[in-house]
Amino acid sequence: MEYVRQKYPRYASYLFAVPNAAKRSYPVMARLRREGFAVGFPDLGILYPMGGYHGLLIEMKRQRGSRGALPRTSPEQTEWVERLSTAGYWAVVCYGAAEALREIDLYFAE
């Protein structure tokens, strides 16, 4: 988030994060779903059109899982990335901050 604010300040107001990783009780999740919470929606986004895309959406994953393998995306995460890509967004899964920063730079280079 800070990277975009510093390197691309003009677009910082279009930047958002979705707090998907937080553990919530059943009643809280039920209320959030009624309010429109979508399981699997990407973690970070920049809703500013660039290079023929409507915006950039990033699903963040750790670089390595507990056994050294790349963490897997859930079916809902995979579906969101595919659906958003089809709808004209630059939607990607990034493993670690360095990969996310590269995608952000690529997006703004378009």
pLDDT tens for the chain, 110 residues: list them.
Answer: 899 999 999 999 999 998 776 677 778 877 877 887 788 899 999 999 999 999 999 999 988 766 677 788 999 999 999 999 999 999 999 999 999 999 999 999 96
pTM for this entry: 0.86
Residues 6+ apart with CB under 8 A from 37: 29
pLDDT for 22 equals 66
Q: Which CATH number fits domain 2-109: 3.40.50.410, 1.20.1630.10, 3.40.50.720, 3.40.1350.10?
A: 3.40.1350.10
Most distant CA pair in the chain: distance in Å? Answer: 43
